[in-house]
Amino acid sequence: MWPRFFVSLLIGIGQTHCATGQSQTENAPQVVLGANDVDENEANEVSPLLESPSVTAFMTQAFEEFNASRFKASVRAFNNALATGDLNDAGRIMAYWHLFVAYNKLSNMHRSMESLTSFVVVAEDAVRELMGVSTLLEPTYDFLRQFGLERRLVRARAILSAAWAWKSPGYGKSESNPIIIEDMNERNDFLELYTDCPLDGQSLKEIYHHEASKQSTRLQHVVMTCHKGNTQNHTFYFQFR
Protein backbone atom coordinates (compact mmCIF):
# COMPACT_ATOMS: atom_id res chain seq x y z
CA MET A 1 0.00 0.00 0.00
CA TRP A 2 1.36 3.42 -0.94
CA PRO A 3 1.97 6.14 1.71
CA ARG A 4 -0.57 8.79 2.55
CA PHE A 5 1.11 11.45 0.40
CA PHE A 6 0.21 9.42 -2.71
CA VAL A 7 -2.33 11.81 -4.24
CA SER A 8 -0.28 14.91 -3.42
CA LEU A 9 2.44 13.58 -5.71
CA LEU A 10 -0.04 13.22 -8.56
CA ILE A 11 -1.35 16.79 -8.57
CA GLY A 12 0.33 19.49 -10.65
CA ILE A 13 -1.59 22.77 -10.71
CA GLY A 14 -1.25 24.59 -14.01
CA GLN A 15 -0.16 21.53 -16.01
CA THR A 16 -3.16 21.21 -18.26
CA HIS A 17 -1.74 19.26 -21.19
CA CYS A 18 -2.69 15.60 -21.59
CA ALA A 19 -1.17 12.83 -23.65
CA THR A 20 -3.43 11.96 -26.54
CA GLY A 21 -1.39 9.38 -28.38
CA GLN A 22 -3.23 7.53 -31.11
CA SER A 23 -4.10 3.90 -30.58
CA GLN A 24 -1.91 1.54 -32.56
CA THR A 25 -4.73 -0.90 -33.11
CA GLU A 26 -8.49 -1.19 -32.92
CA ASN A 27 -8.57 -4.96 -32.99
CA ALA A 28 -5.85 -5.84 -30.54
CA PRO A 29 -5.61 -9.35 -29.13
CA GLN A 30 -6.75 -9.92 -25.59
CA VAL A 31 -3.91 -8.78 -23.34
CA VAL A 32 -3.09 -11.22 -20.58
CA LEU A 33 -1.88 -9.30 -17.58
CA GLY A 34 0.93 -10.88 -15.63
CA ALA A 35 1.59 -10.63 -11.91
CA ASN A 36 3.88 -7.63 -12.43
CA ASP A 37 1.39 -5.69 -14.54
CA VAL A 38 -0.90 -4.42 -11.81
CA ASP A 39 -1.22 -4.45 -8.07
CA GLU A 40 -4.91 -4.05 -7.29
CA ASN A 41 -4.10 -2.76 -3.79
CA GLU A 42 -2.12 0.19 -5.11
CA ALA A 43 -2.72 3.54 -3.52
CA ASN A 44 -5.97 3.74 -1.68
CA GLU A 45 -4.77 5.92 1.18
CA VAL A 46 -4.97 9.59 0.29
CA SER A 47 -4.86 12.97 1.99
CA PRO A 48 -7.08 15.92 0.97
CA LEU A 49 -5.52 18.76 -1.03
CA LEU A 50 -6.93 22.25 -0.70
CA GLU A 51 -5.35 23.33 -3.99
CA SER A 52 -7.47 21.01 -6.13
CA PRO A 53 -10.20 19.26 -4.19
CA SER A 54 -12.05 18.04 -7.28
CA VAL A 55 -9.15 16.15 -8.81
CA THR A 56 -8.23 14.72 -5.41
CA ALA A 57 -11.79 13.44 -5.00
CA PHE A 58 -11.76 11.94 -8.49
CA MET A 59 -8.46 10.12 -7.91
CA THR A 60 -9.58 8.91 -4.50
CA GLN A 61 -12.80 7.54 -6.00
CA ALA A 62 -10.96 6.06 -8.99
CA PHE A 63 -8.63 3.95 -6.84
CA GLU A 64 -11.41 2.91 -4.48
CA GLU A 65 -13.51 1.70 -7.40
CA PHE A 66 -10.52 0.04 -9.07
CA ASN A 67 -9.52 -1.84 -5.92
CA ALA A 68 -13.12 -3.02 -5.55
CA SER A 69 -13.10 -4.29 -9.16
CA ARG A 70 -15.80 -1.80 -10.14
CA PHE A 71 -14.00 -0.98 -13.35
CA LYS A 72 -16.72 1.04 -15.12
CA ALA A 73 -16.92 3.45 -12.22
CA SER A 74 -13.13 3.52 -11.98
CA VAL A 75 -12.85 4.44 -15.66
CA ARG A 76 -15.26 7.35 -15.22
CA ALA A 77 -13.37 8.67 -12.21
CA PHE A 78 -9.92 8.42 -13.83
CA ASN A 79 -11.19 10.15 -16.97
CA ASN A 80 -12.79 12.89 -14.84
CA ALA A 81 -9.46 13.40 -13.05
CA LEU A 82 -7.63 13.69 -16.37
CA ALA A 83 -10.25 16.12 -17.70
CA THR A 84 -9.53 18.61 -14.89
CA GLY A 85 -6.06 19.24 -16.30
CA ASP A 86 -4.70 19.32 -12.75
CA LEU A 87 -2.73 16.07 -12.78
CA ASN A 88 1.03 16.30 -13.15
CA ASP A 89 3.01 13.74 -15.12
CA ALA A 90 3.06 11.27 -12.23
CA GLY A 91 -0.70 11.54 -11.88
CA ARG A 92 -1.33 11.07 -15.58
CA ILE A 93 1.02 8.07 -15.63
CA MET A 94 -0.97 6.42 -12.85
CA ALA A 95 -4.32 7.31 -14.43
CA TYR A 96 -3.42 6.02 -17.89
CA TRP A 97 -1.90 2.80 -16.55
CA HIS A 98 -4.98 1.98 -14.51
CA LEU A 99 -7.28 2.95 -17.38
CA PHE A 100 -5.35 0.48 -19.54
CA VAL A 101 -5.95 -2.26 -16.97
CA ALA A 102 -9.59 -1.30 -16.31
CA TYR A 103 -10.54 -1.16 -19.99
CA ASN A 104 -8.80 -4.48 -20.46
CA LYS A 105 -10.90 -5.97 -17.67
CA LEU A 106 -13.98 -4.58 -19.44
CA SER A 107 -12.84 -6.17 -22.75
CA ASN A 108 -12.69 -2.74 -24.42
CA MET A 109 -9.41 -3.32 -26.21
CA HIS A 110 -9.55 -0.19 -28.36
CA ARG A 111 -9.71 2.07 -25.29
CA SER A 112 -7.23 -0.13 -23.43
CA MET A 113 -4.63 0.31 -26.17
CA GLU A 114 -5.36 4.05 -26.41
CA SER A 115 -4.74 4.40 -22.68
CA LEU A 116 -1.55 2.37 -22.88
CA THR A 117 -0.30 4.52 -25.77
CA SER A 118 -0.93 7.65 -23.70
CA PHE A 119 0.86 6.02 -20.78
CA VAL A 120 3.92 5.44 -22.98
CA VAL A 121 3.92 9.05 -24.24
CA VAL A 122 3.93 10.52 -20.73
CA ALA A 123 6.13 7.83 -19.17
CA GLU A 124 8.91 8.20 -21.74
CA ASP A 125 9.20 11.90 -20.87
CA ALA A 126 9.21 11.10 -17.17
CA VAL A 127 11.89 8.42 -17.53
CA ARG A 128 14.14 10.88 -19.35
CA GLU A 129 13.75 13.28 -16.44
CA LEU A 130 14.32 10.48 -13.93
CA MET A 131 17.83 9.92 -15.18
CA GLY A 132 19.30 12.94 -13.45
CA VAL A 133 16.96 13.49 -10.50
CA SER A 134 17.93 12.87 -6.88
CA THR A 135 15.21 11.05 -4.95
CA LEU A 136 16.09 13.20 -1.93
CA LEU A 137 15.12 16.32 -3.86
CA GLU A 138 12.18 14.99 -5.88
CA PRO A 139 9.79 12.70 -3.94
CA THR A 140 7.56 12.46 -7.02
CA TYR A 141 10.32 10.69 -8.93
CA ASP A 142 11.13 8.53 -5.93
CA PHE A 143 7.49 7.48 -6.02
CA LEU A 144 7.72 6.65 -9.74
CA ARG A 145 10.74 4.47 -9.06
CA GLN A 146 8.75 2.64 -6.39
CA PHE A 147 5.97 2.21 -8.94
CA GLY A 148 8.48 0.46 -11.22
CA LEU A 149 7.92 2.95 -14.03
CA GLU A 150 10.83 1.90 -16.22
CA ARG A 151 9.89 -1.79 -16.14
CA ARG A 152 6.22 -1.03 -16.80
CA LEU A 153 7.24 1.19 -19.72
CA VAL A 154 9.19 -1.69 -21.28
CA ARG A 155 6.18 -3.94 -20.82
CA ALA A 156 3.81 -1.34 -22.29
CA ARG A 157 5.87 -0.88 -25.44
CA ALA A 158 6.06 -4.65 -25.89
CA ILE A 159 2.27 -4.98 -25.52
CA LEU A 160 1.67 -2.28 -28.14
CA SER A 161 4.16 -3.88 -30.54
CA ALA A 162 2.56 -7.29 -30.06
CA ALA A 163 -0.89 -5.82 -30.69
CA TRP A 164 0.33 -4.11 -33.85
CA ALA A 165 2.01 -7.31 -35.06
CA TRP A 166 -1.28 -9.19 -34.62
CA LYS A 167 -3.09 -6.58 -36.70
CA SER A 168 -0.35 -6.20 -39.35
CA PRO A 169 1.10 -9.65 -40.13
CA GLY A 170 4.07 -8.17 -42.04
CA TYR A 171 5.28 -6.15 -39.05
CA GLY A 172 8.65 -7.43 -37.88
CA LYS A 173 8.94 -10.00 -40.66
CA SER A 174 11.61 -8.28 -42.78
CA GLU A 175 14.65 -6.03 -42.51
CA SER A 176 12.67 -3.20 -44.06
CA ASN A 177 9.87 -3.44 -41.46
CA PRO A 178 11.51 -4.38 -38.15
CA ILE A 179 10.05 -4.13 -34.66
CA ILE A 180 11.59 -1.08 -32.97
CA ILE A 181 12.75 -1.82 -29.41
CA GLU A 182 14.80 -0.21 -26.66
CA ASP A 183 16.51 -3.26 -25.19
CA MET A 184 16.54 -7.03 -24.82
CA ASN A 185 13.90 -6.94 -22.07
CA GLU A 186 11.45 -5.36 -24.49
CA ARG A 187 12.33 -7.96 -27.13
CA ASN A 188 11.81 -10.82 -24.68
CA ASP A 189 8.48 -9.38 -23.51
CA PHE A 190 7.33 -9.06 -27.11
CA LEU A 191 8.22 -12.66 -27.92
CA GLU A 192 6.43 -13.94 -24.84
CA LEU A 193 3.31 -11.86 -25.47
CA TYR A 194 3.03 -12.40 -29.21
CA THR A 195 3.70 -16.15 -29.20
CA ASP A 196 2.05 -16.91 -25.85
CA CYS A 197 5.16 -18.94 -25.05
CA PRO A 198 6.87 -18.50 -21.65
CA LEU A 199 10.55 -17.60 -21.63
CA ASP A 200 11.52 -20.96 -20.15
CA GLY A 201 9.85 -22.68 -23.10
CA GLN A 202 11.75 -20.74 -25.76
CA SER A 203 14.97 -21.38 -27.61
CA LEU A 204 16.37 -18.52 -29.67
CA LYS A 205 18.70 -18.42 -32.62
CA GLU A 206 20.15 -15.02 -33.46
CA ILE A 207 20.95 -15.31 -37.12
CA TYR A 208 22.88 -12.06 -37.11
CA HIS A 209 23.39 -9.10 -34.88
CA HIS A 210 25.38 -6.20 -36.23
CA GLU A 211 25.81 -2.46 -36.27
CA ALA A 212 24.22 -0.74 -39.26
CA SER A 213 27.00 1.63 -40.17
CA LYS A 214 24.96 4.60 -41.39
CA GLN A 215 22.20 4.74 -38.80
CA SER A 216 24.32 3.51 -35.85
CA THR A 217 21.50 1.13 -34.94
CA ARG A 218 21.49 -2.61 -34.43
CA LEU A 219 19.42 -5.01 -36.45
CA GLN A 220 18.72 -8.46 -35.08
CA HIS A 221 17.14 -11.42 -36.84
CA VAL A 222 15.71 -13.95 -34.41
CA VAL A 223 14.21 -17.38 -34.91
CA MET A 224 12.30 -18.53 -31.84
CA THR A 225 11.17 -22.09 -31.24
CA CYS A 226 8.54 -22.77 -28.59
CA HIS A 227 8.88 -26.13 -26.86
CA LYS A 228 5.73 -25.89 -24.74
CA GLY A 229 2.43 -26.90 -26.30
CA ASN A 230 2.61 -27.13 -30.08
CA THR A 231 6.20 -26.80 -31.26
CA GLN A 232 6.34 -23.82 -33.59
CA ASN A 233 8.97 -21.52 -35.09
CA HIS A 234 8.60 -17.75 -35.19
CA THR A 235 10.87 -15.38 -37.12
CA PHE A 236 11.23 -11.68 -36.33
CA TYR A 237 13.48 -8.74 -37.13
CA PHE A 238 14.23 -6.28 -34.35
CA GLN A 239 15.89 -2.90 -34.58
CA PHE A 240 17.31 -1.29 -31.45
CA ARG A 241 16.79 2.44 -31.14
Torsion of CA 63, 64, 67, 68, to 10 degrees: -150
Tell me the average pLDDT of the chain. Answer: 76
**Chain segment 160-219, per-residue pLDDT in tens:** 999 999 889 899 999 899 999 999 999 999 998 888 888 888 888 877 655 544 444 588
Say what percent of the chain tops pLDDT 70: 68
pLDDT of residue 1: 34
> What is the distance between the alpha carbons of residues 173 and 185, in angstroms, rounded to a whole number?
19
pLDDT of residue 81: 93
pLDDT of residue 8: 41
**Chain segment 49-79, per-residue pLDDT in tens:** 324 668 989 999 999 999 999 999 999 999 9
More confident residue, 128 or 153: 153
Residue 46: pLDDT band (50, 70, 90) is: very low
Look at residues 172, 160, 180 and name the one whose alpha carbon lies nearest to residue 234: 172
Look at residues 6, 29, 18 and name the one whose alpha carbon lies nearest to residue 165: 29
- pTM of the shown model: 0.74
Torsion of CA 14, 15, 17, 23, to 10 degrees: -150
Residue 4: pLDDT band (50, 70, 90) is: very low
Say what percent of the chain tops pLDDT 90: 41
CB 86 within 8 A of CB 12: yes
**Amino acid letter at 18?**
C
